[in-house]
Amino acid sequence: MRRDFAAAESLLDEALALRPDDRDARFNLGRVYEVQQRYDDALAAYGAILAAHPADVPALLCVGTVHYVRGDYDAAADAFAAALAARPDDQVAALNFALTATLLGRADEAARVLWAAVERRPDDATAWTALADALRELRRGDEAAAAANAALRLDPENVHAAVLLGQTAYDRGAFDEAEAAFVRAAEAVPDAPEPRMNLGVLYHGLGRVDEALAHGEAALARAPDDPLAHLNFGMTLLLAGERARGFAEVEWRLRDPRMRAHFPYLDRIPRWDGAPLGGKRLLIAREQGIGDFVLWSRLFAQVRAPGATVAVEAPASLAPLYAGFPGIDELYADRCPPERLDAFDVHVPLCSLPHVLGAPDPETARDAAPYLHANAEATDAFRARFAARGAGMKVGIVWAGEPSHLLDAFRSCRLADFAPLGAVPNVVWISLQKGARAGEALAPPLELMPLPLGPELESFADTAAAIAALDLVIAVDTAVAHVAAALGVPVWLLHGFGNYWLWGVQGTDSPWYPTLRIFRQHRPNDWDGVFADVRDALALR
């Protein structure tokens, strides 16, 4: 079949010249533009149809598809929603809206639309799969597994449904079951990258690094242009100690259209590649979590160059702590104001710094800490307050991170899990826990009775001052552990399932933070074993 787009475009232009209101000719012209990736022209063609017929469902679906391909998911969702409003029983509109809404974090809306879709078409395996995806995002694991099983009954070779079934098992800590599901999917569809990718993530978490690398490479062989496959493989390379290659692979995150919302300056400001700045103005754009910011802030001074200006976006809760920090000329809480963006010559996402500057050597990194400093007056006030609680070692504790974190179910524990530590005498306990879980300190185990300080800590400047007045911090893998270690305060990190590359797979120390000691689970989700080890170590200390 001949695909002569130039001829098709010419013929359609002639038709429209004769009949400007010919809807079908304009729609087909839009399709010609779309397949040529002339997206602005395609949107203009479909827009002309919608100007005359706002409820034209095929045109709305095409507009949504173009926006989706370009990574503008908000606009795509709006177009698909308009199509669904015009034709509520349109299965394609429902599926497209739901898939886009799930990507945007609107899984509750997606699930409502998809329940209607599967009721309307119970034989639609694609709708059941999309529903499983949305329900998993909502952390309704049993319902997600049921939806995935429904999809597999209709389509036994549905790889995405098979992988979702494994992911729901992974989410509840049934790792053997997850492994079996991923292996079955890989065997059923050997050329599919998804099962290999998920096996790599699973083995990464279990510390089976060689297997994780093998499956990561197998996924890339099947999907060499998949940004997520590269990102996952890069994280495992970092866990294996291959820093230069690992950080290079992690850069693929910037190509993932699902993640571009986190990188608002990619298309607006040129990206810095590490070349001498001269007199240029550089913006270091925030991304990822607070712990990542604290970790890589050690590199800010390395970025500076004579005559250059370095501006940094910091999480709002961290900004007060970083006022006057070496290497920062301008500091923005959260995001740089839009009207200031044109003043910058180049930008770099925060987590690209180790790649752009050359993978940091762990031994050099060890020498960097402490590189954060708390307010001395505020620290003295906390020290006096803690002393009034009695003699003994002053120990701050944190038991939970942000619930939205993908691995929070595995990294967070309960204040009640700390109860065995109450058997150690001469310890004054201070709760640094903030957020929804801080309330556990109001009804603590009788063995501990910590001072519930968390609600008073308005920013990390306050938290840092409190930490600097302590003898020890015992925390799960949260931002508080990073801040304490960057301050040079002794930290005992309670390591849950997941194997973040920074902490490695074994051993008790990290070269990145010389005052940090790692207490590892003996098996996944074994907090009792961790706290038994901590109790013994605390008694010795």
Query: Any idea what the CATH number is for the domain that residue 439 is in?
Result: 3.40.50.2000
| Rounded distance between C-alpha atoms, residue 3 and residue 32, angstroms | 10
| Contact between residue 186 and residue 479 where contact means Cβ atoms under 8 Å apart | no
Percent of the chain at pLDDT exceeding 70: 95
Does 385 map to a domain?
Answer: yes
CA angle 397, 402, 405 (to 5 degrees): 130
Does 425 map to a domain?
Answer: yes
Neighbours of 327 (CB within 10 A): 17
Task: Identify the CA nearest to 230 among candidates 259, 257, 256, 250.
Answer: 250
Place of tokens 């992911």: 167
Verify that 429 and 497 share a domain, yes or no: yes
> Residue 154 above 50 pLDDT?
yes
Return the DSSP state at 19: -
> Residue 17 above 80 pLDDT?
no
Confidence of residue 13 (pLDDT cuts 50, 70, 90): low
| Rounded distance between C-alpha atoms, residue 215 and residue 236, angstroms | 10
Does 54 map to a domain?
Answer: no
Verify that 233 and 337 share a domain, yes or no: no
What is the pLDDT at residue 29?
A: 76
Could you tell me which residues are beta bridge partners of residue 469?
A: none
| Contact between residue 426 and residue 391 where contact means Cβ atoms under 8 Å apart | yes
Q: Mean of the pLDDT values across residues 449-454?
A: 91
| Rounded distance between C-alpha atoms, residue 385 and residue 379, angstroms | 10
Neighbours of 269 (CB within 10 A): 21
Relative orientation angle of helices 227-239 and 193-206, to the nearest 10 degrees: 20
> Residue 453 above 70 pLDDT?
yes
Verify that 237 and 271 share a domain, yes or no: no
Angstrom distances, CA of residue 122 to CA of 85, 91, 392: 21, 12, 65
Neighbours of 493 (CB within 10 A): 26
Q: Mean of the pLDDT values across residues 370-380?
A: 96
Verify that 426 and 411 share a domain, yes or no: yes
Query: Strand, helix or coil at 283?
Result: strand
Read off the pLDDT of residues 49-78 as tens digits, 9 standing for 90 and up. 899 899 999 999 999 999 998 888 899 999
Angstrom distances, CA of residue 535 to CA of 189, 412, 489, 541: 49, 18, 19, 10
What's the CA dihedral at 38, 44, 50, 56 to 10 degrees? -10
Verify that 341 and 244 share a domain, yes or no: no
Percent of the chain at pLDDT exceeding 90: 72
CA angle 268, 270, 272 (to 5 degrees): 140
Does 430 map to a domain?
Answer: yes
Verify that 399 and 525 share a domain, yes or no: yes
Burial 358-371 (b: 16+ CB within 10 A, else e): eebeeeebeebbbb
Verify that 196 and 270 share a domain, yes or no: no
| Contact between residue 402 and residue 513 where contact means Cβ atoms under 8 Å apart | no
Confidence of residue 496 (pLDDT cuts 50, 70, 90): confident
Beta strand 491-495 pairing with 513-520: parallel
What the block records as the tokens of 24 is: 């079908």
Beta strand 309-314 pairing with 427-431: unpaired
Does 371 map to a domain?
Answer: no
What is the pLDDT at residue 360?
A: 77
> Residue 354 above 70 pLDDT?
yes
Verify that 240 and 275 share a domain, yes or no: no
Read off the pLDDT of residues 384-418 as tens digits, 9 standing for 90 and up. 999 999 889 999 999 998 877 777 788 899 999 99
> Of 237, 256, 275, at which residue does a domain stop?
256
Query: Any idea what the CATH number is for the domain that residue 212 is in?
Result: 1.25.40.10
> Of 333, 360, 387, at which residue does a domain stop?
360
Residue type, 64: G
What is the pLDDT at residue 266?
A: 84
7-16, 53-62, 171-180: the lowest-pLDDT one: 7-16
Provide the domain limits for residue 240.
Answer: 191-256
| Contact between residue 293 and residue 283 where contact means Cβ atoms under 8 Å apart | no
Verify that 487 and 381 share a domain, yes or no: yes
Does 81 map to a domain?
Answer: no
Task: Report how far Cα 459 is from the mean position of its chain's Cα atoms.
Answer: 22
| Of 36 and 309, the one with more pLDDT | 309
What is the pLDDT at residue 8?
A: 61
What is the pLDDT at residue 130?
A: 96
Verify that 533 and 459 share a domain, yes or no: yes
Task: Report how far Cα 277 is from the mean position of its chain's Cα atoms.
Answer: 30
Query: Strand, helix or coil at 325?
Result: coil
| Of 23 and 170, the one with more pLDDT | 170
> Residue 1 above 50 pLDDT?
no
| Rounded distance between C-alpha atoms, residue 364 and residue 517, angstroms | 18
Verify that 346 and 471 share a domain, yes or no: no
- Average pLDDT over the chain, rounded to whole? 91
Q: Is the dihedral of CA 203, 209, 215, 216 positive or negative?
A: positive
| Of 123 and 26, the one with more pLDDT | 123
Angstrom distances, CA of residue 41 to CA of 35, 70, 214, 352: 11, 13, 44, 34
> Of 325, 360, 395, at which residue does a domain stop?
360
Task: Identify the CA nearest to 58 among candidates 79, 39, 35.
Answer: 79
SS3 for 7-18 is HHHHHHHHHHHH
What is the pLDDT at residue 478?
A: 93
| Rounded distance between C-alpha atoms, residue 42 and residue 44, angstroms | 5
> Residue 174 above 90 pLDDT?
yes
What is the pLDDT at residue 54?
A: 93
Query: Strand, helix or coil at 137?
Result: helix
**Which residues are within 8 A (CB) of 79 and not within 5 positions of it... i.e. 6 or more apart?**
60, 61, 63, 64, 67
Query: Strand, helix or coil at 392?
Result: coil
47-56, 83-92, 484-493: the lowest-pLDDT one: 47-56
| Rounded distance between C-alpha atoms, residue 71 and residue 92, angstroms | 19
What is the pLDDT at residue 387?
A: 95
> Residue 353 above 70 pLDDT?
yes
Q: How many structural domains are present in the chain?
A: 3
Q: Mean of the pLDDT values across residues 273-284?
A: 94
Does 528 map to a domain?
Answer: yes
Verify that 335 and 482 share a domain, yes or no: no
Task: Identify the CA nearest to 111 among candidates 96, 101, 125.
Answer: 101
Single pTM value for the model = 0.88
What the block records as the tokens of 519 is: 């207490």
Does 139 map to a domain?
Answer: no
Return the DSSP state at 345: S
Confidence of residue 231 (pLDDT cuts 50, 70, 90): very high
> Residue 331 above 50 pLDDT?
yes
| Rounded distance between C-alpha atoms, residue 113 and residue 93, angstroms | 10
Neighbours of 389 (CB within 10 A): 14
